[in-house]
Amino acid sequence: MTIGIGLLGLGTVGAGVAGILATPEGRHPLVGELTLRRVAVRELQRPRPVELPAAILTTDPEAVVDDPAVDIVVEVMGGLEPARSLILRAIAAGKPVVTANKAVIARYGEEIAAAAAENGVYVLIEAAVGGGIPIIEPLKQSLGGNRIQRVSGIINGTTNYILSRMADEGAAYGAVLADAQRLGYAEADPAADVQGGDAADKIAILAGLAYGGPVQRSAIPAEGIDRLDSRDVSYAAQLGFVVKLVAAAQFLGTDADGTVQLDVRVSPTLLPKEHPLAGVHGVNNAILVEGDPVGRVMFYGPGAGAGPTASAVVADILNIAGIRQVGGSQAGLDPLLAASRWRQCRLVDPGLTQHRNYVRLRTSDEPGVIGRIGTCFGDQGVSIQSIVQFEAKGGAAAGDGAADSSGGGAGAAEIVVITHEVGEARFRAALAAIEALPEVVSVAACLRTL
Ligand code: HSE
């Protein structure tokens, strides 16, 4: 039985999918049953990495969805619209959808899931998170017997590629970003990568699956690497840490009505060098799932790029194709594959969360400064794990290109403090007191630490 595929988008991922479908030899036999019937492109005349018959190309994506020869709609065009409307149009027509679109799923996942349930079709999203790493289906199915305590990960390949090359080669941020774009890792607008929005979309999706309820994407605090100073990467390394862009969702408890309380965020984070995520380099992603009773399970692999992402898309197509082959459409939707939601989740006030911190202070270099900083932390009950002075100089502390002259005449220093785990509100109160000290020029950096 041949199954007709309609492809919305022939960019990096779309071309990867077309490439797999065109070369079924040596793959699962079901791949040979899939036929690319229509492909929506932005321009008809354009050099492409895959050769496709001109007759199946169209600039009208609705024509792909509506084509009676298309049984499964594969959305890899990206962006919010028209992608969302096309997905809903396919569902309304009773056609299952495979999408790699994390932005749409993170924002409109509930609307899409409700429409899919009403129409009895699957919408599968393995490619939306982690590129080639299977993480969506394991969260929906293989780990379903667990209570999930935490999902944390490096889930943006572009920023991990940039951070790895900056750390290893001392490479310049702009040049490495350009390489990431050339290699097809970055989003069309790389602001989503470097400012943390892409990782926030992905952790919203993972948290929703792990905790069984939608997570409000707009409430997730997200900080990227675009303001990260390379001296913090260097100081962290000297203290035994690696800086990574970490996205995490942590279970904190439940309300009386069963609503799950979560701390979900994206932030540049110091990881101890022995942490499982610390050894993830380049475009690779990794997701660490901590659950009861499974313990720690880590999923690792290439997180972006044509081949890995297309691998995940084709896996979803095969799932649907397999169900069609056994006539599964009459049996209703498998609740695990369809990812049913069974409770509500809410993000807690970030001021109520607890974590370790890295702080870099620019101060004057004179007797008693470290003591006074320690007192400010102590007054708020913040316990210090380590405090180190770097770069005492005769002049102002160099940093981020800004010359400070307000640090007093006794020279300038950079003091790095790592705290033990502490409530965010008490930590912020201590920082405010430190900032008010006359010897302190500025709080130059503040990073979360695992
Ligand atoms: N721009 C994304 C990344 C692509 O760098 O991870 C995969 O979602």
- 395: domain CATH number is 3.30.70.260
Asked if residues 69 and 4 have their Cβ atoms less than 8 Å apart, the reply is: yes
Q: Would you name the residues annotated as active-site residues?
A: 202
Co-location of 154 and 124 in the same domain: no
Co-location of 171 and 290 in the same domain: yes
Number of domains observed in the structure of the chain: 3
Question: How far is Cα 70 from Cα 115, in angstroms, rounded to an integer?
Answer: 19
Co-location of 362 and 313 in the same domain: no
Co-location of 187 and 100 in the same domain: no
**Between the CA of residue 389 and those of 315, 362, 399, what are the distances in Å?**
52, 10, 14
Ligand 1 mean position, distance from CA 192 (Å): 9
Domain closes at, from 271, 290, 325 = 325
Nearest residue to 277 (alpha-carbon basis) of 163, 374, 174: 163
The alpha carbon of residue 194 and the mean position of all alpha carbons in its chain are separated, in whole angstroms, by 11
Co-location of 278 and 234 in the same domain: yes
User: Which atom, in ligand 1's list, is nearest to the CA of 180?
Assistant: 5
User: Which atom, in ligand 1's list, is nearest to the CA of 156?
Assistant: 6
336 lies in a domain? no
341 lies in a domain? no
Instruction: Residue 319: give its domain's CATH number.
Output: 3.40.50.720
What pLDDT sits at residue 393?
Answer: 66
359 lies in a domain? yes
What pLDDT sits at residue 409?
Answer: 45
334 lies in a domain? no
Co-location of 283 and 395 in the same domain: no
Number of H helices, E strands in the chain: 13, 17
435 lies in a domain? yes
For a ligand 1 pocket test, name from 12, 129, 187, 246 the mutation site with the most ligand atoms within 8 angstroms of its C-beta: 187
Co-location of 356 and 256 in the same domain: no
For a ligand 1 pocket test, name from 104, 195, 198 the mutation site with the most ligand atoms within 8 angstroms of its C-beta: 198
Asked if residues 106 and 202 have their Cβ atoms less than 8 Å apart, the reply is: yes
Query: E strand or H helix at 197, and its extent?
Result: helix 197-211
Domain extent at residue 424: 351-449
User: Which atom, in ligand 1's list, is nearest to the CA of 131?
Assistant: 7
Domain closes at, from 325, 360, 375 = 325
Query: Is 192 touching ligand 1 by the criterion CB < 6 Å?
Result: no
Query: Is 185 touching ligand 1 by the criterion CB < 6 Å?
Result: yes
Co-location of 156 and 282 in the same domain: yes
Rg value, the chain, Cα: 25
189 lies in a domain? yes
What pLDDT sits at residue 331?
Answer: 61
Ligand 1 mean position, distance from CA 20 (Å): 20
442 lies in a domain? yes
What pLDDT sits at residue 286?
Answer: 98
Query: Is 304 touching ligand 1 by the criterion CB < 6 Å?
Result: yes
* Per-residue pLDDT tens digits of the chain, which is 450 residues long: 899 999 999 999 999 999 999 999 999 999 999 999 999 999 998 888 888 999 999 999 999 999 999 999 999 999 999 999 999 999 999 999 999 999 999 999 999 999 999 999 999 999 999 999 999 999 999 999 999 999 999 999 999 999 999 888 878 888 889 999 998 888 878 999 999 999 999 999 999 999 999 999 999 999 999 999 888 998 999 999 999 999 999 999 999 999 999 999 999 999 999 999 999 999 999 999 999 999 999 999 999 999 999 999 999 999 999 999 887 655 688 888 998 788 999 999 988 899 999 999 999 988 999 999 999 999 999 999 999 998 766 444 444 433 333 334 456 899 999 999 999 999 999 999 999 999 999 999 999 999
Long-range contacts of 57-66 (CB under 8 A, 24+ apart): 57/10, 61/8, 61/86, 62/86, 62/89, 63/38, 64/6, 64/7, 64/8, 64/38, 64/39, 64/40, 65/6, 65/8, 65/89, 65/90, 65/93, 65/95, 66/93
pTM for the model:
0.94
337 lies in a domain? no
What pLDDT sits at residue 395?
Answer: 43
Co-location of 298 and 150 in the same domain: yes
